[in-house]
A and B are shown apart, each in its own frame.
Chain A
């Protein structure tokens, strides 16, 4: 089994997803199964193969430096669950 309960807890914490402790064991098993299945890639020799950067054969387009957007704070916060005074809010952050 490639991942255990503790690893699941660590990844879940990294991904900021609360996982009930009761599900930890089952989830570890599911993820391990998937990872073990994915593992078959390791049998393939990819020495010297360039990793794919994009399927489209074109160069990155660049835009001109002009102010063409913004200026609509109402739209920016329109869907915010708890906006106030034009700000988004989060539980107080202590640095």
Chain B
């Protein structure tokens, strides 16, 4: 927990997040139009999405399955009966004049998310609910001096609104929550989590209080489209609220809009004046009844989730919690690691994946799919280290070469003659020569200067261009220097 120091003392943030996550599906929540991104205006619109007279919604089964899967992934209560309601309001991008959403009876109830914090600590944040609803269309304001243009391609795409409990106390925790939620959604394959494309958006509910006191009035900052902006918006809004409160003012319950570019926010509308959504059950739909056996079936087919995977990596592979956490943060990375670690020393694999491999990815801008070195090739390199063909130091050189040329480690070692010298007679010969040629250093060693041994090792390495097996060199030197 981090407290904010004001002029009059310390303040605590109380943060809840509402995340809108676009469900991965081919077609929309209530119509057969495509959900694909970026098509010709109004081309992915059915008569239902355009709210033509007499059009009726029919629910997408796969979207329901995705919501259930997500609920299960959040260890949440699955409600076998849920109800779609109409949220009535007028807006240019809302063709029906209402959004079909869930209100009193959402499909998913309470659950939990475990946050992985910077210091390796974990912290639990409650999920209040998850419900399904329709996305709105898009208004384009900059094409005409007096008109806004409306494109309904997004209209009716399925969203999951995932509401957290007000359990977070800092911007860092909010960031960790979003990262973890995104990881879980991606593991489940229920949302691609791309905030920059708008397929995951966050609304921040924030209030300030003196530690230990009841919650204050909150504001809602809408549609923040990156984790960094969420954290900045929280910091900024917390400061604003503290200032208002310390100046003797009152926080107005309102919706605010954050401008990530300017790093400022402004009031959009005051809740009490504007909205009365007149929710009521959508009479075009019946209550959604789920079969318990169907839910159970989805549950048994859930993929291993990051928390379980992390625990397994620690337990079965002996990885540190930190390393395990880094590896499971992305489902593909974890799978990559497991392929590399298969039949090999998992710690060596982890070091290489997290160290050199991630480094190379970052530097080159490549990802796991496009990287020149795949899991098999990296494994081949590790095998050469493990069986003593090359040293760890040479391996780094080989890896760089592999990245550049996309070749197998063995081929590079062979071609460049990088194979480690593990032949003791060859090394003995070299050591004899060096001892003979450097009596001064030999004397120093015999006089008790242990550090000089490193100088001898260096000489051997120099003579072999680093290929001598370092362990063997040490062993031979000690024997000969006696």
Contact (Cβ within 8 A) B276 A70: no
Contact (Cβ within 8 A) B288 A60: yes
Closest chain B residue to A94 by CB distance? B141
Interface bits A76-95 vs B (CB < 8 Å: 1, else 0) = 11000010111111111111
Flag the segment in B42-50, B245-253, B387-395, B450-458 that touches A: B42-50
Closest chain A residue to B90 by CB distance? A16
From DSSP, what is the main secondary structure of chain B's interface residues? loop
Flag the segment in B57-65, B175-183, B378-386 that touches A: B57-65
Contact (Cβ within 8 A) A67 B285: no
Which residues on B sit within 8 Å (CB–CB) of A53? 83, 281, 286-287
Q: How far is the CA of A16 from the CA of B25 in the complex (A)?
A: 35
What's the least CB distance linking B50 to chain A, in Å?
5
Contact (Cβ within 8 A) B147 A70: no
* A53-B83, A89-B147 known; A60-B41 Cβ under 8 A: no
Interface bits A1-44 vs B (CB < 8 Å: 1, else 0) = 00000000000001010000000000000000000000000000
A48 at the interface (CB under 8 A from B): no
Size bin of chain A's contact surface: 35 or more
What's the least CB distance linking A84 to chain B, in Å?
7
Closest chain B residue to A89 by CB distance? B147
B148 at the interface (CB under 8 A from A): yes
What's the least CB distance linking A75 to chain B, in Å?
7
CB within 8 Å of A: which residues of B?
25-27, 31-34, 40-50, 58-64, 83, 90, 92, 139-141, 143-152, 257, 268, 276, 278, 281, 283, 285-289
CB within 8 Å of B: which residues of A?
14, 16, 53-54, 56, 58-73, 75-77, 82, 84-95
Of the A-B pairs whose beta carbons lie under 8 Å apart in the complex, a sample of 20, sorted by A's number, is A14-B276, A53-B287, A61-B58, A63-B32, A65-B61, A67-B26, A67-B33, A68-B27, A70-B31, A70-B44, A70-B46, A75-B47, A77-B42, A86-B151, A87-B41, A88-B149, A90-B92, A92-B146, A92-B148, A95-B268
